[in-house]
A and B are shown apart, each in its own frame.
Chain A
């Protein structure tokens, strides 16, 4: 198979709080180690310029086989982030063009991963030869094995179930194209769909876009137009933290949602982890970088 047959794409648009491109480089190193496929980063010229200035000691082309520079205008989308229950900050979340991965990906078979999804085994290599169309996670658990918060399971109490856009696998089939066109339509008419599907908040969420697109394509019922990736997606919540990084074990602090002053320690083994607390990733970046060498 040639290099452009299969690969991973990341979106990375820096803001004043989070160095997305640096995190993308880390995530890419883990992808290359465990999945052994090329990586494309989709970014803008400002972010790229920053990467060239700030990451001078690294050979960017070693971690990004392709760099796609976009000029898409982003929706204003301010997100509140947590770093433990005790520290918060706000930052622009540039995600309104995520559906354009269909256009930007150079691969026949693509895994679109969020930059905070750290690949820690070769589990995702199953997707390439076993799925046609689109595949995503539907079920998730935090590191203490609890389901996500209500609005990350259902869009509304009496509404549809949420699909995660953290990991999106797709091929170049007509069905995939239909899916991405529907996602684009939902993104363009987000306010209407917010009203129709009754979900709260002002944040533009691609999880909600893909969930609605899937629901529409399923004929407004539960069906299997989109492949559900087996097992759960595991995540480190924004209020959780990483304490220590070892080769195949991360020692984490898991926060109790109800009684936020209570934490338990978790020794998380070699399972992929969606690290929602990006500050925690940033704090341990250097160790994570070194451990990625294996």
Chain B
């Protein structure tokens, strides 16, 4: 095989593996971002966190929110929901950063696998 092609294919395989690994980390992070609260399912994303914080800043202590399944959910304690969202957000993003850093430094498949 042409050496140039062989090298290209090796890199292609490495790239495929590393991209899949990034997706796997995102899957884990997405799970960590899910918050079940008051019978609803919320994603601890920047938009939800900002919206809940805005409601609190405007003086609301309770509200009806539409959850990720498009169901209305009555929230009696907005501050408590915000705390849960932030906790999920931080644990998800911290894990994301730690794993992503490891992948960013990887230069071959062996290092991704910790071999």
Q: Which residues on A are within 8 Å of B, measured CB to CB?
A: 121, 123, 126, 129-130, 141, 143-145, 224, 228, 230-232, 234, 246, 249, 251, 254, 264-271
13 extra A-B contacts, CB within 8 A, seeds A144-B20, A246-B114, A265-B112: A121-B31, A141-B27, A228-B69, A230-B41, A232-B27, A254-B20, A264-B13, A264-B20, A267-B114, A268-B24, A269-B25, A269-B99, A271-B27
- Those of B33-53 within 8 Å (CB) of chain A: 34, 36, 39, 41
Residue of A nearest to B23 (CB): A145
The residues of B that contact A267 with a CB separation of less than 8 Å are: 21, 24, 112-114
* A222 vs B20: C-alpha distance when bound (angstroms): 31
A-B pairs with beta carbons under 8 Å apart, 24 shown: A126-B34, A130-B39, A130-B41, A141-B27, A143-B24, A228-B69, A230-B34, A230-B68, A231-B27, A231-B30, A231-B31, A234-B27, A246-B114, A249-B114, A254-B20, A264-B17, A265-B113, A266-B17, A266-B20, A266-B24, A267-B21, A267-B114, A269-B99, A270-B28
* A224 vs B30: C-alpha distance when bound (angstroms): 22
The residues of B that contact A264 with a CB separation of less than 8 Å are: 13, 16-17, 20
Main secondary structure of the interface of B (DSSP, over half): helix
The residues of A that contact B68 with a CB separation of less than 8 Å are: 230
Residue of A nearest to B14 (CB): A264
| B109 touches A (CB below 8 Å) | yes
A145's contact among B20, B34, B39, B114, by CB below 8 Å, is which?
B20
Asked whether, in the complex, the Cβ of B21 is within 8 Å of the Cβ of A266, the reply is yes
The residues of B that contact A270 with a CB separation of less than 8 Å are: 28
Q: Which residues on B are within 8 Å of A, measured CB to CB?
A: 13, 16-17, 20-21, 23-25, 27-28, 30-31, 34, 36, 39, 41, 68-69, 99, 109, 112-114
The residues of B that contact A126 with a CB separation of less than 8 Å are: 34, 36
Residue of A nearest to B13 (CB): A264
* A143 vs B23: C-alpha distance when bound (angstroms): 10
Once A and B bind, how many residue pairs between them come within 8 Å at the CB atom?
Answer: 58
Among A123, A267, A269, the most chain B Cβ lie within 10 Å of the Cβ of: A267
Asked whether, in the complex, the Cβ of A145 is within 8 Å of the Cβ of B24, the reply is yes
Closest 5 pairs (CB-CB, A-B): A130-B36, A145-B23, A126-B36, A264-B17, A144-B20
* A104 vs B13: C-alpha distance when bound (angstroms): 48
The residues of B that contact A129 with a CB separation of less than 8 Å are: 36
Asked whether, in the complex, the Cβ of B24 is within 8 Å of the Cβ of A269, the reply is yes
The residues of B that contact A266 with a CB separation of less than 8 Å are: 17, 20-21, 24
Residue of B nearest to A121 (CB): B31
CB distance from B5 to the nearest CB of A (A): 16
* A246 vs B113: C-alpha distance when bound (angstroms): 11
The residues of B that contact A145 with a CB separation of less than 8 Å are: 20, 23-24, 27
CB distance from A140 to the nearest CB of B (A): 12
The residues of B that contact A234 with a CB separation of less than 8 Å are: 27
* A183 vs B82: C-alpha distance when bound (angstroms): 40
Asked whether, in the complex, the Cβ of A265 is within 8 Å of the Cβ of B41, the reply is no
The residues of A that contact B17 with a CB separation of less than 8 Å are: 264-266
CB distance from B34 to the nearest CB of A (A): 5
Asked whether, in the complex, the Cβ of B28 is within 8 Å of the Cβ of A271, the reply is yes
The residues of B that contact A230 with a CB separation of less than 8 Å are: 34, 41, 68
* A56 vs B42: C-alpha distance when bound (angstroms): 46
The residues of B that contact A246 with a CB separation of less than 8 Å are: 114
CB distance from A181 to the nearest CB of B (A): 25
* A268 vs B113: C-alpha distance when bound (angstroms): 10
The residues of A that contact B113 with a CB separation of less than 8 Å are: 251, 265, 267
* A8 vs B30: C-alpha distance when bound (angstroms): 25
The residues of B that contact A143 with a CB separation of less than 8 Å are: 20, 24
* A204 vs B113: C-alpha distance when bound (angstroms): 38
* A230 vs B68: C-alpha distance when bound (angstroms): 9
Residue of B nearest to A251 (CB): B113
